[in-house]
Amino acid sequence: MIPRTALATLYRLARGFPIVALTGPRQSGKTTLARAAFPDKPYVSLEDADTLAYVTTDTRLFLASLPEGAIIDEAQRCPALFSYLQRHVDERQRMGDFVLTGSQQFGLMSKITQSLAGRVGLIHLLPLSQSELAAAGQATDCLDETLWRGSYPALYDRELSPGDWYPHYVATYLERDVRQLLAVRELSLFQRFLKMCAARCGQLLNLSALAADCGISHVTARQWLTVLEASYIVYLLPPYHRNFGKRLVKTPKLYFLDAGLAAWLLGIRSAEAIAIHAMRGALFETFVIGEFIKQRQNAGIPVDLYFWRDNTGHEIDLLYEAGDKLQAIEIKSGMTFSSDWPQAVRRWATYARDAALAPWIIHGGDHSFEAADYRAFSWRTLLLPPAVIS
């Protein structure tokens, strides 16, 4: 197992909550992390039909058989479990008693908010971050290889190529999650929707156009996108609310949470193909934003990331609040630093004035440096511990 940054967060929450829940996409390492963190706890998988039937039939007896607590995988498959757990942990008053995992965010979260509010510490575990891969000696030195391979643990734990793994991952996701969550008669149509989302990676979300291109209704497109969000396949980056005297767009931008999955859905079948692909810039932007999301979720803090764009097209790729200041980040995939790259962040700094920290530019080159009014970071900085970029 590649050591996970979220392990420290898992231990911290287990000291303060009777239940810790790990949620995230399928194959992101949730079960592996839970079992590594608590090797002495019994492991119960509700993916097993016989086990699910037993837990559903006599939930009280099931919990009574676990004096040391347990790790319960895909807990959302037994909705009755949560109300029994509430009474059980309230009586025992033991921190870190149960660890729940689930790969369907709204399935697990709805049960937690209904029955276990205030009793659960929550961690969203995404695929491996670059700093985790680098610490384990698994990070690649080539940016195009990094974008193409993605960061799902299976691609680093096993002798698997992305071309072998992603088709099976998508097929499994479609068969299991989509059929469970939506009454989709034509899975091929949903797969087309998934690919059309990848083609819009890094763009403002236009549901009407997306629905029209896929031959589905606006309502259906919204439902399907909600499922992709809940399953940690896509992420909608919200616009920042302060306008600085400018009229702003209010539409989120669409990203995938793994650049490798997006690349495969775009039909990219090699790292060499990424180098000349029209979507390389969008994939790099996806990659960088995904790393910032992972840093926050691994630490157990709110994501609180935004972009900023006015109605004339002036835009900041990534923005977050740092105290009472704002950190603006421009993302450029090019390997050679260009003199016009700082223009966007300089323009934005004139709008934000005293609220602006020195902007950052994260680029696809090898060198980091500091200028008078901005800081430039190589993508390789993302291989270092999160605190290095500050």
pLDDT of 100-154, one tens digit each? 998 766 567 767 777 788 899 999 999 999 999 999 999 999 999 999 999 999 9
Do 182 and 258 lie in a common domain? yes
Residue 290 lies in a domain: no
pTM score of the predicted model: 0.94
Q: Last residue of some domain: 124, 145, 175?
A: 124
Return the CATH number at 104: 3.40.50.300
Residue 319 lies in a domain: no
Q: Which of 344, 270, 274 is nearest to 312 (CA)?
A: 344
Q: How many domains would you assign to the chain? A: 2
The sign of the CA dihedral 306, 230, 282, 148 is positive
pLDDT of 246-295, one tens digit each? 778 899 999 999 999 999 999 999 999 999 999 999 999 999 999 999 99
d(CA 359, CA 346): 8
Q: Is the pLDDT of residue 390 over 50?
A: no
According to DSSP, residue 41 is labeled S
pLDDT of 163-192, one tens digit each? 999 999 998 877 777 777 776 777 788 889
Do 88 and 229 lie in a common domain? no
Asked if 53 contacts 81 with a C-beta cutoff of 8 angstroms, the reply is no
Residue 289 lies in a domain: no
Do 138 and 263 lie in a common domain? yes
pLDDT of 33-71, one tens digit each? 999 999 999 999 998 999 999 999 999 999 999 999 999
The two tokens of residue 132 are 């985790």
DSSP alpha helix (H) spans, the chain: 6-14, 30-37, 49-57, 59-64, 80-92, 105-115, 130-135, 143-149, 154-157, 162-173, 179-181, 187-199, 207-214, 218-230, 259-265, 271-275, 280-298, 343-352
Domain that holds residue 219: 130-235+253-279
Q: Is the pLDDT of residue 92 over 80?
A: yes
